[in-house]
Structures are given as C-alpha cells and as structure tokens.
Amino acid sequence: MIMLVKFHNRGKGVGAGPVDYLLGKDRNRELASVLRGDPEQTRELIDSLHFAKKYTSGVLTFEESDLPESKKQELMNELERHLLAGLDANQYDCLWVEHRDKGRLELNFVIPNVELTTSKRLQPYYDRVDRVRNDAFQTYMNGKHGLSDPNDPSKTRSMSYSRDLPANRKEIAEHITTALINLIATGVVKDRDDIVKSLNSNGFNVVRNTKKSLSIRIPGDSKNTRLSGDIYEQSFRASPSFSEENRASIERYRKNYTQRVSKARKLYESEIDKKQKYNRERYRPAELRSIKTVNNALETVQERIKKVTKQNNVDLQLGNSIRCINGNRITSSGLEISNNQINDRLNQYERDSKTIDAHDSDFREVEQKAKPSIRGTSEQISRALNTIGETFERYGNAAIKLDKLHREQRIESKPSFRPRF
C-alpha cells in the first residue's frame, strides 16, 4: 500500500467548482461520499472570500480500493495537522470526500483559505515553503503506517505511471514490465526495439513512442496506456549485469529505509513546530489580544494600582510569569482576556481609585478639623498634670511639717527619768 499526497493547481474559482467535482452537481456522483465536513458550508465560505486564491485542494491517493474507516480518519487527522498546524478545529473548515470510482481509494480535501476566528487569509500549502515538510510528511506517514515507499527503485526505475491510471490498467502495466525485465535478464531483450517487438507480438500494440516512454493499446480498452521508466526510454541498452545492478540498487535503498523514515520524522516534527508557532501567532482570535498587548494593558493597570495604593501603604505585587486580574490568569501559553474584559477591569480600577482618593480626602479633612481640638485637649491635660504635680508637692511639704510637729510633741510629753539613790 502506498499513500501519495497531491495538491491541485486550482483555487481561484467559485465554491461550486471543487464541491461539484467531488460530489456531482446533484450530489450523486457514483462511489463518492462525504467523510467529514459540510459541502454547502464549504462552498459558501469559498464564495464569501475576496482573496486571489480562495481555496486549497488536493488528494491522498492509495493503491488499495478501500481502507478501514479508522485508518481513513487517522490519515485525515494527520493531514490536517500537517497543513493546519497549531490551529484548533473551530479555526478552519475542511471538506473530505472519498472517491472509489477509479478502482482505488482517494481521499479528497478542500480547505477554504480563511481562518475563521480572525477572517484573515489562510494558506495551508505554499509549495516553495512547504515542499520540504510535505516530502518529509509523505515519507514519515508511509513508514509509520507500514505503507510502501513510492520512491523505492523497484517502483521508479523500471516503470512509472500516472497517478490517475485506473487500477486494472496499472495492474496490467506492472505485469508487462515484470515480464519484460525477465526477458532482459535472460538476454532475449537487449534494447527498446526488442521491447517494442515483444509488446506488439503479445497483442499490446505500441501506438506511440517518445524519447522517454511508450504508449500501448491494451486489448479491449479504448484508451491508450503510457509506459515509462528506465526500460521504456529510447536510450535503453541491456547489459549482462542489468538485473544484478537493478537488484543491488533496490537492496541498498531498502537497507537504509528505516533511517530515512526516522530522519523524515525528525525533519517533519521540526517543520511542524515552526508552522505551529507561525499559525498561533498570526491567527489569534480577533476578540482576544495577543500576550504582548495584554501585558501592556496589565502594565497600565499595575501602574494605576501602584499610584492608587501608594498613599495607603498597600503592597501589591504582580508576578512576572503569571499575572491575575480578578482571577483570570495570563500565562505565556496564551490564555487571553477580551478587549471588553480589559476595559471593564480598567474602569473598575479607575472607580476603585476614585473611591480610595475620596476616602483619603475625607480622612485628611477630618484630621485637619480634629487637630486644633486635639492640640487644645493636649494642652488642657498638660496644665492639669502640672496642677496635680503642684498640689502633690504642697501636700507633701505639709505632710513633712506635720510629721515633724508630731515628733516634737511626743518628746515634750515624756516624763523625765531620775534614779532614786
């Protein structure tokens, strides 16, 4: 099983173009079904845009005629992450339509080129910038899901074919190529002239030849089938070592396949990280401010709070990494506050500021009025204390005099003592 990613060179027309192609004008195209999205919504979104390129479309194509539903969903999720890295499902529209009318499975996608929350132009894929990531994605996905490598020499050296080639014709072309390689290995076929003779003799009439390919008419088929690859080129010359060289080349390629998948995964994840950062910065929802803008608003609020609370000796600190306004956390991961919320909070802080200023003014007014009374009372208390001190001093002096007088009286009243002999 091989998965190939192909982008269509379209996107400038009306929305009916891609949607009608995928589902039919009457939405009854045979073996076509919607896997994800709303066709009419996608069409209307495309028609509402005024960009030069209004949509991006492409297809995941497989060798198989069908896959389990879970595998389809997984691969669709992988492609959306690849093209719309960093965006949530509500930020874009993507229509997925399954086709199985060519004998193989195709998962077609159409993405209107608009980011839904900002109405900004969205560019899911730009080849000059995104080709490296896309090539890594294809290699990584084929390796991750156990799919065949489309770049394997066994598929590219001896034969290549159009991606639109129906499965039955592709199978016949592969059998023809295998048979011719066996003839080359046995020495029966030595150059392209021998290949043409062999094809004609087996009923596959060569109807056209170019420098790089041959076109044949398969019996019972009304259309030509083009055969291209090393052995179908005009310059092809078989050598005794042709088969051995071809086998050795395939073995060398497959030996390093695991390493190539690992390298592709690392490259893909690195490119995805860049795309995520770009998209998350560019497509922030319109009603939310960027972290930088919010932080500027917070700085204004912080300065206002400091100014209001300075006179009341209130120590308010806002952390550097996490800042809060009424319980809302602003972090580097990107939780944003709406313009209205910021304005509401600024207005609230302004009202609080005025209230505090008014209270401060009232306090100062009361203080000024109270100061004379306080000074008068203080003076009265001081005079009273002085009076009490003087009174205690007078009473103390009087007590001392009284005590002295009492002692003198006791001495005078005592009888004198005279011995009797």
Over its length of 421 residues, how does the chain's per-residue pLDDT go in tens digits?
Answer: 567 899 998 899 999 999 999 999 999 999 999 999 999 999 999 999 999 999 999 999 887 788 899 999 999 999 999 999 999 999 999 999 999 988 789 999 999 999 999 999 999 999 999 999 999 999 999 888 877 666 666 555 556 666 567 767 777 887 888 788 878 877 888 899 999 999 999 999 999 999 989 999 998 888 899 888 888 888 888 876 666 666 676 677 777 888 889 999 999 999 999 999 999 999 986 555 445 555 565 566 567 656 655 554 544 444 444 444 444 444 434 444 455 666 676 677 667 666 666 655 665 665 566 566 656 666 776 677 677 777 767 766 776 777 677 676 665 555 444 444 3
Identity of the amino acid at 72: K
Cβ 180 vs Cβ 246: under 8 Å: no
Taking the CB of residue 60, how many other CB atoms lie within 10 A of it?
Answer: 21
CA–CA distance, 293 with 20 (Å, rounded to integer): 44
> Which among 161, 158, 220, 248 is positioned nearest to 195, based on CA atoms?
158
Using only the alpha carbons of the chain, give its radius of gyration. 47
Half-sphere exposure of 327 (CA within 13 A, CB side): 0
* Furthest-apart CA atoms within the chain: distance in Å: 189
* Catalytic residue chosen out of the listed positions 21, 125, 161, 283: 21
All structural domains of the chain: 3-125 (3.30.930.30), 154-269 (no CATH), 291-356 (no CATH)
| Length of the chain measured in residues | 421
Render the burial of 242-251: b for 16+ CB within 10 Å, e for the rest.
beeebeeebe
Half-sphere exposure of 247 (CA within 13 A, CB side): 8
125 has catalytic annotation: no
Identity of the amino acid at 5: V
